[in-house]
Amino acid sequence: MNDSINSWQALWANLPIFQDAIITGGLAGALLGFIGVHVVLRRMVFASSAIAQAAALGVALSFWVPAVVDPVRHAAVHQAGPDAHLISSLLFEPVVWAIGASLLATLVFVANPVRLHLTRESVLGFVFLASGAGAVIIGDRITQEAHDLSAILFGSAVMVQPVDVVLVGGAAFFLLGGHLLLFRALIFAGFDPKGARVQGMPVRGLNGFLFLSVGLAVALCTRALGALPVFAFSVLPAMTALVLTSRLGAVFAVATAVGALSGVAGYGISFRAEMPVGATQSALAAALFAAALVYRLVVRRVTAAQRRAPAA
């Protein structure tokens, strides 16, 4: 008990050191939890995972390409220190490559694979496998940034760079704002696209905004947290909300809250239990979903018993 108090006190005492990671986890969880409702309702559950793998491949390429193009300068930058590497060239910033690779992956949703006798799910599987294999192969070619790449692939957001707080915070502000402004239109276009076209709504443009927001959110959050928690936040909070309520507005609100809670509380639990951050955040999101399932099962049994009681 004393160890527990000391550990929580240690987290609180060192909060200025960890606050960037906690804030980023909460913002990423809220953003992905909200957008994840669209992902789950449109049956694109594995889309975020494929896009996250593409973002990881983009980050790996941002490390590998400079070493191939100009190995002498790349080695000199490394000898100058990590800060010098970060400002060596904006062209090879990992976040730029992650966004580019993610946006390319979102083209899967825009293209029509039926013309090639393929389904969208099969093309999505190709993106996931090709990106995942490419990230591992490219990661094997680099050595000095291998730890950074491993953290992105498997999720180890112990420390988050200040720029990630700005990028994830900006994405949460603008993307959530856009989704709130287009809330009814996005829902209508998703549930009844034919009816939306009859009403003169720009269904293609709305879908393009949704896919673009998914790609940007996944790319920026993957760079900060890792692929595993990003996939978990994109799916599990939305599933939890759908189990708890059928009111659509409440589903988005609950999913946003569950995502934020998983990001913040998951970091605290990982600190207390000395466990990997990304995996702990993902496990907490899964535990909340399991708790929601148990709650729904209990409510159904109690409701059924109450209905049978008057007849007895």
113-131 confidence digits (pLDDT tens)? 777 777 777 888 888 889 8
Q: Residue 150's pLDDT is what?
A: 65
- Place 31 in a pLDDT band, splitting at 50, 70 and 90: very high
Integer Cα distance of 163 and 169 in angstroms: 10
- Place 242 in a pLDDT band, splitting at 50, 70 and 90: very high
The tokens describing 312, both together, are 């007895």
Q: What is the pTM of this model?
A: 0.81
Integer Cα distance of 63 and 68 in angstroms: 9
Q: Which residues contact 86 (CB under 8 A, 6 or more apart)?
A: none
Integer Cα distance of 290 and 66 in angstroms: 45
Length reported for the chain? 312
Contact predicate 258/237, CB 8 Å: yes
Chain position carrying tokens 């989704």: 179
- Place 49 in a pLDDT band, splitting at 50, 70 and 90: confident
Q: Give the residue from 18, 23, 16, 15 showing the smallest Cα distance to 169.
A: 23
Integer Cα distance of 28 and 5 in angstroms: 28
User: Above pLDDT 90, what percent of the chain?
Assistant: 27
Q: Residue 18's pLDDT is what?
A: 78
Integer Cα distance of 24 and 281 in angstroms: 12
Q: Which residues contact 228 (CB under 8 A, 6 or more apart)?
A: 154, 155, 278, 279, 282
The tokens describing 31, both together, are 């953003």
Integer Cα distance of 229 and 263 in angstroms: 9
Chain position carrying tokens 């994840």: 36
